[in-house]
Structure 1
Amino acid sequence: MPGGGMGGGMGGGGGRGGGDLKLAPGQKPDVRRVLGLFRPYRGTLAAVLSLIVLAAAAGVVSPFLIREIVDVALPEQRADVLAWSVGGLIAVTVVASALGVTQSMLSARVGQSVMHDLRVAVYSHLQRMGLGFFTRTRTGEIQSRIFSDIGSMQSVVTSVMTQIVSSGAGVAMALVAMIAMDWRLTLFSLIALPFAVWMNRRVGRRRRTIVRTRQEKAADLSAGIQESLSVSGILLGVTMGRVETLSSAFADDSRELADLEVRSQMAGRWQMAVFTTIMSLFPALTYFLGGHLLFADPDGSGITIGTLVAFIALQSSLFPQINGLLRVATQVNSSLALFTRVFEYLDAPILIADADGAISLDPARVRGEIRFEDVTFAYPGAEEPALAHLDLVVPAGKHTALVGATGSGKTTTGYLMARLYEPTDGRIILDGHDLREITLSSLAASIGVVTQETYLLHATIAENLRFARPEASDEELVAACRIAQIHDHIVALPDGYATVVGERGYRFSGGEKQRLALARTILRDPPVLLLDEATSALDVATERAMSGALDAVARGRTTVSIAHRLSTVRHADQIVVMERGRIVERGTYEELLARGGVFAELARQDAREDQQDARRDEPSPGPAGPDPGAR
């Protein structure tokens, strides 16, 4: 699809969300850091290692027992030697199986624990990344890294690491036993090993590149699905007539991902097939070489038939172990790309965090005076600042309104007040404390925010309300909803407060969602209330009814309203008029109207819009009767 597939088709999102979170070209992930993930489980890993060594040791006992059977028990017809040799073979098999099951169980527990730790670390880190990160990063990209990347790493951390140790121990034990039997045949068996190692490293580099490209394409596909199959995405696609185009784009992206999957699976397969073929020839060649050594030493002082048979048995177990070790090493090498993508998120700097020695405010003792002192703020990449040298005092316990045209900086001021962003210059003070000196948790408890973009969880109404205060009683829920003028509507629903609101609250109208969001914030009872266009989706009658209730709630607490409809701030103690990130006027409603400046012009525009809305809401005349003059 022109424009960049699913991601470009639905919303663009500014390219790949994680585009600024990549290693420099040629930079490799730190393998020691990957191994560090297992550090908390050293004790269990030591037990796993012990079991692996015991299993490997048990595995090399069998060839020696076979040699005893071939060289002693059968030629000399020693029934006792035959009995204990066969019994030993059976015991070794049973013990090796038991050790393998126990080792697999412990390995799986360690691997899943590491997966859990990694998922929680990434999620917790992202929770503290701040609003700016999420305005630049698509949700689908984030979900891809948490689920797809970490999920793809599961086989590495649950089984591959122990498989490497197991195969390595098996190879070491087999080599020791082979050397003990005949060092000449051992050297012959290892001729092709340097070629195999070189080939494995080359294949690993190729697969790592392909895997990273595959995961990036999977992230794009996930982001496209997230955007296009959400409620908003479906509405946009259908109303814009883009359903067929989006389906075609998804098919193209999915086909490209499938091709990358095939390339990832097939990378180096031919080289490994050649190596496997060569290895399969070695037992026959070893019989040939061993036979000649036996012919040259007919008295059997150097090599015996039993030794040759036992050596072939060891060799038959050694080569698959080496082959598996090289194959797993290739898989780990390519999986480093997955670790890299996850570490990129873990290493992303947290721009807004608690300072050393930050104080925790008691919300019950917060007065709510807020001061902006020479505050300047610019969004990343913006040519001009959104706010420039802003000086503002929000008196404690009073109602301050921020008004202005779109893009004047009203919402940015509110975001800074709630510390969703931090000033580029200057400082913001709450009750004499710089916001950067206050813990984020106590600041969130002190400043309640209701934004224009209402977000409700896919849960019941009661669960959405208790997200603000999990311990709130049913009576407190009802009281908050009565203030927000939504209680009567809730109890009229078949399931009442147990009604599931649907994804993002799409089972409710915009006004109903905003009233639920208001009730949720009222339930927290914060000393400072920040309302960012919080009544924009309400009709005039409901807004007037709720304004009185909000006035009652706001009494005695600091309230900051960011408003487009000026009628909602008529009774504010202070109205601040903003334009291009600066304060151009301030005063009461009557004072600003009398001044005849920017606010007066905004009021005239507001009045004209209200008149147009009133005309649209007037009932249309009924069907006209027949025109007497018409034929």
Structure 2
Amino acid sequence: MADHRRSTPVHPTTTPFSSPSATPPGERDGSRGPRGSRGGRPDPADVRQLELSPVPLRRIARLFAPHRAALAVVVALIVLSSAVGLAQPFLVRHVIDDALPRQDVRLLLLLVGAMLGVAAATAVIGVVQTWLSTSVGQRVMHRLRSDLFAHLQQQSLGFFTRTRGGEVQSRLVNDIGGMQGVVTQTATSVAANLTVVVGTAVAMVALSWRLALISLVVLPPAVLLTRQVARMRHRVTGERQRRLADLHVQIEEGLSVSGVLLTKTLGAGPRLAARFEETSSDLVGLEIRSRLAGRWRMATMNIVFAAVPAAIYLAAGFPATSGGMTIGTLVAFIALQGGLFRPLMGLLNVGVDLTASMALFSRIFEYADLPVEIAQPASPVRLPRSAARGEVRFDHVGFAYDPDRPVLADVDLHVPAGTSLALVGATGSGKSTLASLVARLHDVTEGRVTLDGVDVRDLATADLAELVGVVTQETYLLHATVRENLRHARPDASDAEVEQAARDARVHDLIMSLPDGYDTVVGSRGHRFSGGEQQRIAIARTLLRDPAVLVLDEATSALDNETERSILATLEELARTRTTITIAHRLSTVRDADQIAVLSHGRVVEVGTHEELLLLGGRYADLVRSGLGTEPVAA
């Protein structure tokens, strides 16, 4: 090595362009990057997901096809940034070998200026690349999220009754959010890491093929060692994630409004607290093990980053392997080698990241490919509210959730416009299911349901919702003001119309007694109000839409007798201009109906008025005697 260029080599851990001792991405403070990206092997759950529901790459490519130009620019910027960044070590070599020994101030200024320019250029390129890739990812995510939301809204009630609500939310929010990593992390990291690895390897060979060979010989065992440590942490982290999920479930079950109410009424507080403490205690040990595993990985990497430069320094000190290398060349080589390990590890984890990303797409596409059980008609029949009379007919209707277990069979009923039909029967006889067919919450499996002679399957969903109003026993109020809850049924309703609907439902006075009147927030799921108050608000909300057909499924079950009589009187007055189908277990609710249909095991066994059915002495008379309401029966 030439003596006239003697200077102290700079250790790679102190150079401004490499930081081997820094914590790798995704390892700081035990955090994790894309799901399944830790440990050097795919998450078994991701592998199972792809086995059950494989995803063709062609389908994913179609999502990004509209953004081909932007993605091409992103890749070009990544390659450019990586190539520009490789200039730094060569500039340092010229500073050490040429500018400093010769005291050439002009050359030194040029080189330092070039170093600053390279840093600024890579920073600007990085900002533009991040903006472009994030924009593409967000636009694709927005389109996919919006399409999936609209698609799920078209699913029947059966889908939501057999699917956990948290699962739907997870796929809409978490999975689609994680999908963005395909663009902003997986794809861009592959391009960046591949460019850096190839460019660095070429530059190392150009500087010294002997030292490059030493680096390549030392790196494989070092990579294997760090992957073994990472696998150990992966196992610990998986168990920690499961216990964290248990903790979240316990918090949701124990601290939600419904959960607290159940806990207090059952006296289960101490038991839940002990269970929570046990889970939290388990997390303490798992967190310590996880952090230690992470520290072991960091320690292993530090040893690697110390061992490789040590071997290079040793080789540079022997004439047989140095090849007359200058100190500047050695520093530049060490800098290149120091920046090689992390992108090399990134490339080794590409398969894991790709599997995790594909698993997310698989979960999303599972929902996107669900068949629409209640589809919009190809050529919908128009039936304006102004022209609707409200005549409902069940024409030999059959329905089954399971083909082997029919819920309804050969139901044939005619409800003339402006009349009322009451459905009674034992629990499970099919009353609610039959009523739900009018609003097309389910589709018949046999026969048809018509509204003014038009099959409800031939009406557009929006038109049918305008013609048929449904109030159920289980009311749902939004976490918004009373006014917003009422206008949810009809956003263009005036304040006067909102208040009139509330008066008709006998809830106006209650609302006006609230601190902020109609601007009072109802609270989570309407728990600010009693069950009867919630039902009255729900009735007002439906009345605001002024439907031609009103379906009341136990809509007055939570009301006291006096309030119920008041609302029934209002509904009776309103029923003069609309058809009403009522399901109730109170005699007071059904006795004045124009006709009463008695269901048993999904079949209509009796039809008639209250007096006719009592005189018949059949199933209806038995229901009255066994407790259909508490009022005296007068034939």
- TM, length-normalised to structure 1: 0.80
In the alignment, the residues of structure 2 paired with residue 519 and residue 246 of structure 1 have an alpha-carbon distance, to the nearest angstrom, of 39
Match of 1:529 in 2: 550
Residue type matched to 1:446 in 2?
L
- 1:491 corresponds, among 506, 512, 517, to 512
In the alignment, the residues of structure 2 paired with residue 584 and residue 211 of structure 1 have an alpha-carbon distance, to the nearest angstrom, of 61
Distance 1:69 1:462, change over 3 A: closer
1:277 aligns with 2:303: yes
Residue type matched to 1:532 in 2?
D
Aligned-residue identity in percent = 51
Matches of residues 542-581 of structure 1 in structure 2 within 5 Å?
A: 542-581=563-602
Match of 1:584 in 2: 605
Moved more, 583-592 or 35-44: 35-44
Q: Which has the higher contact order (CA 8 A, sep 6+)?
A: 2
Moved more, 456-465 or 191-200: 191-200
Distance 1:101 1:81, change over 3 A: same
Match of 1:480 in 2: 501
Residues 445 and 526, structure 1, Cα contact 8 Å, conserved in 2: yes
Residues 218 and 308, structure 2, Cα contact 8 Å, conserved in 1: no
In the alignment, the residues of structure 1 paired with residue 283 and residue 493 of structure 2 have an alpha-carbon distance, to the nearest angstrom, of 48
Residues 457 and 501, structure 1, Cα contact 8 Å, conserved in 2: yes
Match of 2:420 in 1: 399
- SS for the counterpart of 1:610 is coil
Distance 1:470 1:172, change over 3 A: same
Q: How far did 1:422 drift? A: 2.3
Q: How far did 1:391 drift? A: 2.5
- SS for the counterpart of 1:165 is helix
In the alignment, the residues of structure 1 paired with residue 306 and residue 453 of structure 2 have an alpha-carbon distance, to the nearest angstrom, of 79
1:319 aligns with 2:341: yes
> For residues 276-309 of structure 1, what are the alpha-carbon distances to aligned partners after superposition, in whole Å with 9 as ceiling and x for unaligned?
63354222222333444x54786x5xx5554333
Distance 1:473 1:40, change over 3 A: same
- 1:170 corresponds, among 196, 206, 213, to 196
Match of 1:365 in 2: 387
Residues 208 and 336, structure 1, Cα contact 8 Å, conserved in 2: no
Q: How far did 1:523 drift? A: 0.5
Moved more, 257-266 or 490-499: 257-266
Q: How far did 1:522 drift? A: 0.7
Q: How far did 1:514 drift? A: 1.3
Distance 1:246 1:28, change over 3 A: farther
In the alignment, the residues of structure 1 paired with residue 285 and residue 436 of structure 2 have an alpha-carbon distance, to the nearest angstrom, of 44
- SS for the counterpart of 2:607 is strand
Distance 1:297 1:164, change over 3 A: closer
Match of 2:95 in 1: 69
Residues 151 and 368, structure 2, Cα contact 8 Å, conserved in 1: yes
1:420 aligns with 2:446: no
- SS for the counterpart of 1:23 is helix
Residues 211 and 335, structure 1, Cα contact 8 Å, conserved in 2: no
Count of residue correspondences: 587
Q: How far did 1:584 drift? A: 0.4
Residues 210 and 321, structure 2, Cα contact 8 Å, conserved in 1: no
Match of 1:507 in 2: 528
Residues 93 and 329, structure 2, Cα contact 8 Å, conserved in 1: yes
Distance 1:34 1:201, change over 3 A: farther
Moved more, 266-275 or 533-542: 266-275
Match of 1:468 in 2: 489
Residue type matched to 2:516 in 1?
D
> For residues 296-348 of structure 1, what are the alpha-carbon distances to aligned partners after superposition, in whole Å with 9 as ceiling and x for unaligned?
786x5xx5554333222221222233245546775665565555544544444
Residues 208 and 334, structure 1, Cα contact 8 Å, conserved in 2: no
1:57 aligns with 2:83: yes
Matches of residues 55-454 of structure 1 in structure 2 within 5 Å?
A: 55-74=81-100, 78-147=104-173, 158-159=184-185, 161-191=187-217, 222=248, 224-253=250-279, 274=300, 277-292=303-318, 295=320, 300=324, 304-326=326-348, 330=352, 333-334=355-356, 340-380=362-402, 384-454=405-475
Q: How far did 1:474 drift? A: 0.8
Q: How far did 1:423 drift? A: 2.7
Match of 1:6 in 2: none
Moved more, 517-526 or 490-499: 490-499
In the alignment, the residues of structure 2 paired with residue 219 and residue 238 of structure 1 have an alpha-carbon distance, to the nearest angstrom, of 24
> For residues 44-98 of structure 1, what are the alpha-carbon distances to aligned partners after superposition, in whole Å with 9 as ceiling and x for unaligned?
4334333322221221112222333344445555554434223322322232233
Moved more, 598-607 or 398-407: 598-607
In the alignment, the residues of structure 2 paired with residue 153 and residue 378 of structure 1 have an alpha-carbon distance, to the nearest angstrom, of 37
Residues 586 and 629, structure 2, Cα contact 8 Å, conserved in 1: no
Matches of residues 34-49 of structure 1 in structure 2 within 5 Å?
A: 38-49=64-75
- TM, length-normalised to structure 2: 0.80
Q: How far did 1:577 drift? A: 0.7
Residues 551 and 582, structure 2, Cα contact 8 Å, conserved in 1: yes
Residues 374 and 427, structure 1, Cα contact 8 Å, conserved in 2: yes
In the alignment, the residues of structure 1 paired with residue 304 and residue 446 of structure 2 have an alpha-carbon distance, to the nearest angstrom, of 69
Match of 2:12 in 1: none
Distance 1:475 1:142, change over 3 A: same
Residues 477 and 534, structure 2, Cα contact 8 Å, conserved in 1: yes
Q: How far did 1:475 drift? A: 0.8
In the alignment, the residues of structure 2 paired with residue 133 and residue 220 of structure 1 have an alpha-carbon distance, to the nearest angstrom, of 26
Residues 140 and 224, structure 1, Cα contact 8 Å, conserved in 2: no
Residues 140 and 219, structure 1, Cα contact 8 Å, conserved in 2: no
- SS for the counterpart of 1:322 is helix
Residues 587 and 631, structure 2, Cα contact 8 Å, conserved in 1: no
Residues 131 and 420, structure 1, Cα contact 8 Å, conserved in 2: yes
- SS for the counterpart of 2:592 is coil
In the alignment, the residues of structure 2 paired with residue 370 and residue 507 of structure 1 have an alpha-carbon distance, to the nearest angstrom, of 37
Q: How far did 1:488 drift? A: 2.5
Residues 511 and 537, structure 1, Cα contact 8 Å, conserved in 2: yes
Structure 1: 5+ residue stretches without partners? 1-18, 613-631
Residue type matched to 1:309 in 2?
V
Cα RMSD between the aligned structures? 3.8
Residues 461 and 498, structure 1, Cα contact 8 Å, conserved in 2: yes
> For residues 83-123 of structure 1, what are the alpha-carbon distances to aligned partners after superposition, in whole Å with 9 as ceiling and x for unaligned?
42233223222322333334344444444445544544444
Distance 1:273 1:498, change over 3 A: same
Distance 1:569 1:287, change over 3 A: same
Q: How far did 1:452 drift? A: 0.8
> For residues 510-559 of structure 1, what are the alpha-carbon distances to aligned partners after superposition, in whole Å with 9 as ceiling and x for unaligned?
22221111111011011111111111122222222222211121213222
- SS for the counterpart of 2:528 is coil
Residue type matched to 1:410 in 2?
K
Residues 62 and 92, structure 1, Cα contact 8 Å, conserved in 2: yes
In the alignment, the residues of structure 2 paired with residue 513 and residue 197 of structure 1 have an alpha-carbon distance, to the nearest angstrom, of 63
